[in-house]
Amino acid sequence: MSVVWIVENPAGGTTRITNLLCGFIAVRAFATLRSMLRVAQCEPHSAGITPRIILLEEQCMVGSGSPEKVLSEIRAMLTRNGWDDVQIVLVDGRDGASGISEFGTSRHVKMENLVECVRQLTSTASNRMSVGIRQLHEGDLRLDLDAGKVTCLGCGQSDTLSPTETRLLRLLLEHRDRIVTRSEVIAKVWNGTKIALRSLDAHISRLRKRIGFTGVVLESAYGDGYRLSTGNGCEAVSGRITASRGDSTGISRTAEKA
């Protein structure tokens, strides 16, 4: 089921947008824009949590800056979380002519057209999901971008990555034919936010271990950046690890064979 996040001002104890949509779609409501952004910073990358649509009541933007600034901040949050396909809809609850219009990369809709708009967007999202899961491949490694899950095609084992690990692996997979520099990683994965190089190295080290069971190797180019290599293939197939159903990741490491 598609999930809709709603930011509306509950003035007078009413939540019109939430009331309109409850019953036919999963909703999560926030009283302020800031409360939504704070929650989004710590959300797991999960199909049951990831929003497909964000409905933003225009009154909630008062005091937060221009609409362009607010939308830019929301888009930056979506990018950091790896939520690239989320639709943003500005909801105008004032009386006046109805209609749906485009506002930059977002939609602007009157309250009376909201249900129609949401039905249309959720239907589009469902159709897009039914076409196929967005995936990237390298050797035996397959990355499911929507679930943040990495799978080994050789042995069928899989593990779920964090949003940061998913964005990092996605960048490396999309540019597998060359070295991705450190500055490019920081610009694309952290959206230009300052990050210490030792922290970046720690993220790289963790991701290297997380994808190790696929046989794909994350190589460091000394003093420059990183790139992926197909390595020696799936570790389970080659006998370097064995699967264990009791482990939470589905992976149990054993000593390499002599």
> What is the block-wise mean pLDDT of the chain (258 residues), using blocks of 10 residues?
77 71 80 85 59 84 75 82 79 56 62 83 57 73 87 88 90 87 88 83 93 91 85 59 37 36
The structural domain count of the chain equals 2
Residue 119 has what pLDDT? Answer: 82
Co-location of 15 and 82 in the same domain? yes
Range of the domain at 213: 135-253
Co-location of 55 and 157 in the same domain? no
Co-location of 174 and 207 in the same domain? yes
Co-location of 151 and 121 in the same domain? no
Q: Are 252 and 235 in contact (CB under 8 A)?
A: no
> What strand order describes the sheet that includes 53-57?
26-30, 3-7, 53-57, 87-92, 106-110, 100-103
Residue 150 has what pLDDT? Answer: 92
Co-location of 180 and 81 in the same domain? no
Which of helix, strand or coil describes residue 5? Answer: strand
Co-location of 139 and 111 in the same domain? no
Co-location of 205 and 150 in the same domain? yes
Q: Among 94, 114, 131, identify where a domain stops.
A: 131
Residue 206 has what pLDDT? Answer: 94
CATH code for the domain in which residue 190 is found: 1.10.10.10
Phi/psi-derived region of residue 231, left when phi > 0, alpha when psi is between -120 and 50, beta in every other case:
left
Co-location of 141 and 215 in the same domain? yes
Helices marked H in 132-226 — which ranges? 163-174, 182-189, 197-210
Residue 125 has what pLDDT? Answer: 52
Q: Among 115, 131, 147, identify where a domain stops.
A: 131
Q: Among 94, 110, 131, identify where a domain stops.
A: 131
Co-location of 25 and 91 in the same domain? yes
The alpha carbon of 97 is separated from its chain's Cα centroid by a whole number of angstroms, namely 36
The predicted model scores a pTM of 0.49
CATH code for the domain in which residue 110 is found: 3.40.50.2300
Residue 191 has what pLDDT? Answer: 76
C-alpha angle 48/146/136, rounded to 5°? 160
User: Is there a domain that residue 258 lies in?
Assistant: no
Residue 131 has what pLDDT? Answer: 40
Residue 218 has what pLDDT? Answer: 93
The dihedral over CA atoms of 72, 74, 77, 81, expressed in degrees to the nearest 10, equals -120
